[in-house]
Structure formats: structure tokens, C-alpha cells
Amino acid sequence: MLECALCLRQTGVEFSVNAALIPLIDALLPQTQCGKCGHDGCLPYAQEIGTGGAINKCPPGGSSTIAALAALLNTEILPLNPDNGIEAPRTVAYIREDECIGCTKCIQACPVDAILGASKRMHTVIVNECTGCDLCVAPCPVDCIDMLPLPASAPVAKNDSEQRALSGHWRERYYTRAKRLEKLHHANVARRKLASESAAQLMKQPPSKPINMGVWTPPPTTLPTTAPIMSQEKAQSDIAAAVARAKARKAALRKPS
């Protein structure tokens, strides 16, 4: 199959590589999901390569990835296309947390869920999960994200085997995020559909008639509207009687037993 594809390429005839090669091509890509190749992720670029696309459009993979792709496809090794970027040591994102306004735009941009935070709260990067894609830098409205050299604590691939394992880990996080977002999208669609159907059902029902509640009036009071006024003579008489009773009690207390 590879020999036939190579012959067709040399003769200028359009061809399509067997779809079985696409997972093998994808496995050689670094899985940073950075988009520097011009695609939304590594798998679409693998599909481009599988249909005859250039193998030299991946800056994070650099010369080693180009060489591996050339060996797989039995084609010549090309220098990295400068239009896609330059090969450089891996970096990771750092958020200057005291300047973060909690807008969540970097969280939405991160392809592997390597940023923690919430709306109106400080964000931070999980350094060991950051692929260095720098997709979080541009959306930040306050420019508080820096791409810095890899710290000593971050995982580093020392050989091709370790690099494949690290790439596989990033691929798994990327697809886990994609599944989560897809599930959330379907849930939102279902919620909007239910709300629309409920509103349509309510619109079909006849309008309810208003209930005449009448006008509230306070209950009649049993108290007289005006309290009777005591005469001065009556008041003086009651006071004198009260004083007499008080004197009599005091006298009774003083009388020896």
C-alpha cells in the first residue's frame, strides 16, 4: 500500500492513504492540540497527512516527529514549515494569579482541562497537565498568562517510548474533555427543547379567567367609637375612697396583735 501511494505521489496522481494508517499517524503526533498545523487538533492533521498532506507542519513535534512520519509513510524528510512556527523547547502556561479577574476564558480555551478556576475566582494552571499549546494566552483580556520554561517537577519524555506515553495521556484528556462538552451541549439542547415544548403547551391552553376577590372591608368593631369621660366629682370621690382604703390597711398593720 505504501509503495503504491509513493508511486502515485511521484506521478502526480491524486490518491488516498488507507484509513488504517490515520491512527498510526495520529500516534506519532505530540497531541498538544495546539492548532499550529492549521487544524483544530492533532487527529484532523493526521487525516490531512493520510490523504497526502505535508508532514512538516507540527512545530511541537519538530524534526523528530517529521522523521517518524517520513519513515512511516516512506517519504522524504522535510524541514519544518516556518509558516507554522519554529521548533522550540516545551513551555508551560503560568497565570499571574494576583492579576487574574476570573473571566474563565482561558479555561474554555484549554484543550486538556489543565486550568482550574471558576467565574469571578482566581485561576491556576495544573503544570503537570499543561501541553504548552499557548491557546490560553490570546483570550486572556488582562494579559496575565505567561509561557515559561518547563519546571523540574513537570514530566519530561526522555525517549520516544516516554514521549508516546505522554502524548497518549494528553490525547486521553483531550477526548475526555470533548465528551464532557458534548454531554453538556446535549443537556442544554434538551433543556431548551423541554422549555420550548412546555411554553407551546401553555400557549395552547385557554387563558384563565380572573377571580373576583371583591374589596376587603374591616370587620365591625364592638368598641364604642368614643370612650365615656369620667366627671370630676366622680374622679375625686374614687381617689378619696382609694386613699381611705390605703390608710386603713396601714393602720391595721400598726395595731399590736
Instruction: Match 453538556 to its residue by C-alpha cell.
Output: 184
Q: What is the pLDDT of residues 137-151, one digit of tens each?
A: 999 999 999 999 998
| Mean pLDDT of the residues in the chain | 86
- pLDDT tier at 225 (50, 70, 90 boundaries)? low
87 pLDDT exceeds 50?
Answer: yes
Closest CA to 112 of 160, 26, 161, 180: 180
Distance CA 208, CA 23 (A): 62
Question: Which residues have CB under 8 Å from 184's CB, separation 6+?
Answer: none
Q: What is the pLDDT of residues 49-69, one digit of tens each?
A: 999 999 999 999 999 999 999
Contact 66, 58 (CB under 8 A): yes
What does the radius of gyration of the chain's CA atoms come to, in whole angstroms?
A: 42
99 pLDDT exceeds 80?
Answer: yes
Question: Which residues have CB under 8 Å from 127's CB, separation 6+?
Answer: 92, 94, 151, 153, 154
The reply to whether the predicted model has a pTM over 0.85 is no
8 pLDDT exceeds 60?
Answer: no
User: What is the reported pLDDT for 67?
Assistant: 95
Q: Which grid coordinates belong to 58?
A: 507540527
Q: Is 32 left (phi over 0), alpha (psi -120 to 50) or beta?
A: alpha
Contact 153, 161 (CB under 8 A): no
Closest CA to 152 of 133, 128, 174: 128
Q: What is the pLDDT of residues 176-195, one digit of tens each?
A: 999 999 999 999 999 999 99
- pLDDT tier at 20 (50, 70, 90 boundaries)? confident
Considering the domain 91-149 in this protein, what is its CATH number? 3.30.70.20
